[in-house]
Structure formats: structure tokens, C-alpha cells
Amino acid sequence: MSVSTFVLVPGAWHSSSCWQRVVPLLQAQGHRVVTMDLLGTGSDHTPLSQIELVTWVNQVVDLIKEQETPVILVGHSRGGIIISEVAQRVPENIKLLIYLAAFLIPSGETVSSTVPKGKNEDFFVYHPDGTLTLKTDKMVPVLYNTTSSEWIERIPSMLSPEPLSVFSKPLQLTDDRFGRVPRAYIECTQDNTIPLTTQRLMRDKLPCKYVVSISTDHSPFFSAPSELATCLLDLAAKD
């Protein structure tokens, strides 16, 4: 069995702690796993006013360059736009891109332009400092609708505000760089954040080499870690 290096990029509001149930399962199969708190999230206290999409892209690029071999780069949700931009920068350092219920957006488009108008607007709180949080009563039905109550109780302490600016930043991707890295998509069929129809519409614009379906909410790292780990391992074995 060949050993892969997985680099796991969290989505909006989440830190590296979201992967805590998945990392041991990948490591148990002999793989290397690298996670990080994106700047301004989790244990990192960089002011969110200083964060732009390129800030996070630079952070992940630097991390990937430290690895000995090309990596399997996984992005959840908003993390999809990060891994796309990273692939544009260092395609030679990436073996496979895996989008986990993630934004897979063509060049020139944004997260804001991809989400149907008005969709999920009543889920959010917009703050004067340019950050975005989820309404407390919307967290479970939007993000964790198939997650056990035991884990739901732990989750709020793991979440951070999100800089709103990243959602309106157009991606700059080219076929000869981003386009040369193989892509896989793990769709979550009970997702109330990025509905299955939206996940599939995004893939219509940017088809993926591999597609896997799992019957979970938007957060399978909490709701179905074993199933998610199996998907990641199976995809790693294909390339």
C-alpha cells in the first residue's frame, strides 16, 4: 500500500478540530495527515480584518511545499475555493483535489454568485466588523442535521466568525494549472447548506474525475467519520 499525505482544509466557521474524528482513521491505515487552523480561526488570533482569500491560500501553499511528496488536498465547503486557488499556484505539489460538499467554482466566479439568491440568508448574522456568524437556532438544521446530539453539544465551542470578504472574491484559475490536477467530489445528499442540486450544478460546470455520494449532512466529519474516512481512502487508492 502506498502512503499518501492528506492535507485537510476546514470550511467556514470551522477550525482544524472539525477533523478530529477522521484523522485517526486515516493514520490507522498508515497515511500522513496534516491539518491547520486557518489564520484568524481556532487557536490563531490574527484579526479577521487582516484576512483575505489570498491569506489562506498562501498559508496552505506554504504548508504543502513543506511536504515531501505531492499531497491529496481536501477542502470542505468554503475550503473548496481555497484548494482551487492553491492548485492554481502549485499544481505540481498536488496529487488529487477532493471537494467535500465544497464550492467548486469556475474562474471569475465567487461563492456569492454561486449560491442561489436569497438562499440561506436568514441563517446568518452579519456584523459591522465585516464578519459572518450563524444564528444559534440555525446551526443544527443547517449544518448538523444528521449529527448525533453528543457531538452537537461540543460543536459551538469549536466555531469562529468568518470574514465575509472571502465570499465575494472571484477565483483566478487556468486550465493549464488548476485544470491539470485531477478532481474528486464527495457529495452529501442530506446537505442543507449546499443542497445536492447546487453541488451537482457546480460539477456540471467543472466535471470531476471521481464522484462519491454519502447520505449525510453538510458535516460528515462529525456525523459519519468512518464513512468519510473510507471515501477518502478509496479515492486515495485510485490515483
- The β-bridge partners of 32 are 5
pTM of the model: 0.96
The CATH number of the domain holding residue 29 is: 3.40.50.1820
145-184 confidence digits (pLDDT tens)? 999 999 999 998 889 999 999 999 999 999 999 999 999 9
126 DSSP 8-state letter? E
Give the pLDDT confidence score for residue 2 in this predicted structure.
Answer: 86
Print burial letters for 146-169: b (CB count within 10 Å at least 16), e (below 16): bbeeeebeebeebbbbbbbebbeb
How far apart are alpha carbons 91 and 199 in whole angstroms?
23
Return d(Cα 81, Cα 75) in angstroms, integer. 8
At residue 118, does pLDDT exceed 70? no
Position 72 confidence tier, pLDDT thresholds 50, 70, 90: very high
At 54, list the grid cell: 489570498
Q: What are 181-217's pLDDT values in tens digits?
A: 999 999 999 999 999 999 999 999 999 999 999 999 9
Query: Which are the contacts of 1, defined by CB distance < 8 A and separation ≥ 6?
Result: 29, 30
Least confident of 81-90, 110-119, 202-211: 110-119
> What phi and psi, each to the nearest 5 degrees, are found at residue 96?
-155, 140
In total, how many domains does the chain have? 1
Domain that holds residue 80: 5-238
Q: Residue 226 in 3-state DSSP? A: helix
Q: What are phi and psi of 87, to 5 degrees?
A: -65, -35
Which parts of the chain fold into alpha helices (H)?
23-27, 53-65, 79-89, 111-114, 139-143, 149-152, 196-205, 220-223, 225-238
